Amino acid sequence: MNIYKITRLNRPLSWRLTSNRIAILGSVAAGAIALGWWYFSRDKWQIFAAALVGVSAFIAWAVARELDPDRPRTATLAMILATVGAFGPWEPALLVSAIALVGLRVLAGTVGGELKPLDLIVLFGAAAYCGTRVDAWVVVLLLVLAVLDEQPAGYPVATVGMLLAAAGAGFLTDVDFPDNNMLDEELLWGLITIAAIALAIRTTRIRSKTDLYGHSILWPKVRAARVMAGFVVIGGIIGSDAGTLVLMTPVLAGLVATALYRTFRPA
């Protein structure tokens, strides 16, 4: 079954590719490490929490594949960073990070082709959910930009209007404004994010091809995705309650890994 006939949001994982095997095994390893750590430090099993660490590592891997499609090693580094970040004094917002991943994928154009009707339904639901969270409003903007870029002529205005309406419905239904005074730690993470954006956008070309049709992935689209990834993280920092720090840990891990590889391994 050709999944691309149904959706352009998903990228199937083939076990034959080394990078995909690393993603799967690395996610399992991240969860196992967390499970062992919590058992020996707290003397009890936390299976569900450990599974979320594995999910966080996988999302970070996938984000890095969108932000740096030429370098599979960037994704591996992102997994390591996300795993380490999972032990910080915050809980990554995994559903929001997964939605951000989808938006970044569409914006970067790594799959190729126009969005399918099912994709729009998924994006409407995602926008509605993000509308309920102040820390995810930038993700709504990401989805809008992604749809504007990918939809054929004549559809973007209506589609964007429906996205914003869905987000507005979510906002009116259930939204909590944080009582947030910016902490020094949050300010530090914001500065790190800005530095990562600056370093990541210095690439001049992308050699990889789209999954569909084998077209060249356009550098301006990937650059836009890298910038928006940074804004998603900053939005999460500003819109979250004081003390939660980096809610978008997987997205930040993918962006920082991209910046590091772009800086120290530019070729």
What's the pLDDT at 88? 67
Across all residues in the chain, what is the average pLDDT?
81
Give the 3-state secondary structure percentages of the chain, helix then strand then coil, rounded to 5: 70, 0, 30
Residue 216 three-state SS: strand
Q: What pLDDT tens digit does each residue of the chain (267 aa) get?
A: 678 888 888 888 888 889 999 999 999 999 999 888 878 876 566 888 889 899 999 999 999 999 999 999 999 999 999 998 877 666 678 889 999 999 999 999 999 888 888 998 898 888 888 888 877 888 988 998 888 876 555 555 666 676 777 666 666 665 555 555 555 566 666 777 777 878 787 766 789 999 888 889 999 999 999 999 988 888 887 776 543 445 568 898 999 899 888 766 655
Domain boundaries, the chain: 1-267
Question: DSSP string of 165-194?
Answer: HHHHHHHHHS-B-------HHHHHHHHHHH
- Tokens representing 94 are 């995994």
What is the predicted pLDDT for the residue at 1? Answer: 63
Residue 138: what pLDDT?
Answer: 87
Query: Residue 221 has what pLDDT?
Result: 92
- The answer to whether 250 touches 125, Cβ cutoff 8 Å, is no
Question: Cβ(54)–Cβ(27) under 8 Å?
Answer: yes
Question: pLDDT (tens digit, 9 = 90+) per residue, 225-254?
Answer: 999 998 888 888 777 654 344 556 889 899
